[in-house]
């Protein structure tokens, strides 16, 4: 369910970015400068792409850590160094 939320958030960011690029957002938000509008578009686009990358990179089932046996056999090696 968490993965679906990340995907929907990314698609929402991209949708608002596209609406910003087409000029529909200017009816709601009055940008002072065109550079502000371009920065708003870039930030939303990067956040949308980032959310979609996180969605694609995460698995639905957690995997076992590859070094799981190390912590059991170290006999407090990591804790003794702290």
CA distance 72 to 9: 39
| Nearest CA-CA partner of 40 in 51, 31, 28 | 31
pLDDT in tens, 4-61: 999 999 999 999 999 999 999 989 989 999 999 999 999 999 999 999 999 988 876 6
pLDDT, position 58: 81
* Tokens encoding 60: 């639905």
Overall pTM > 0.75:
no
34-49 confidence digits (pLDDT tens):
999 999 999 999 999 9
Q: What is the DSSP letter of 59?
A: -
Report the number of secondary-structure helices (H) and strands (E) in the chain: 4, 0
């Amino acid at each position: 369910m968490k993965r679906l939320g990340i995907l929907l958030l990314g698609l929402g960011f991209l949708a608002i970015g596209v609406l910003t690029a087409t000029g529909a957002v200017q009816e709601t938000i009055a940008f002072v400068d065109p550079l502000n509008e371009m920065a708003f578009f870039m930030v939303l686009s990067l956040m949308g792409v980032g959310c979609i990358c996180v969605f694609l990179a995460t698995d639905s089932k957690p995997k076992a850590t590859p070094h799981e046996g190390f912590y059991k056999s170290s006999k407090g090696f990591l804790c003794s160094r702290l």
